[in-house]
């Protein structure tokens, strides 16, 4: 199975973005990586 990339615009509330940026920074990862992990964890079956 080949991995694919897709792009979409995400417009979170400012407070949500700031919290996600802070959490990503604490974890030492990019915001993109943090969001990917959070969505993966939320949608895991």
Q: How far is the C-alpha of 7 from the C-alpha of 37, rounded, in Å?
A: 16
Q: What is the pLDDT of residue 10?
A: 92
Q: What is the pLDDT of residue 6?
A: 83
pLDDT per residue over 13-43, tens digit each?
Answer: 999 999 999 999 999 999 999 999 999 999 9
Residue listed under structure tokens 């604490």: 26
Please give the C-alpha separations between residue 7 and each of 4, 10, 19, 32, in angstroms, as whole numbers.
10, 9, 22, 11
Report pTM: 0.78
* Confidence band for 4, pLDDT divided at 50, 70 and 90: confident
- Report domain extents, the chain: 14-43
In this predicted structure, the answer to whether residue 3 has a pLDDT above a threshold of 90 is no
Cβ atoms of 31 and 20 within 8 Å: the answer is: yes
């Amino acid at each position: 199975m080949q991995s694919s990339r897709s792009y979409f615009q995400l417009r979170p509330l400012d407070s949500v973005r700031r919290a996600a940026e802070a959490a990503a920074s604490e974890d030492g990862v990019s915001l993109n990586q943090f969001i990917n992990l959070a969505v993966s964890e939320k949608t895991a079956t």
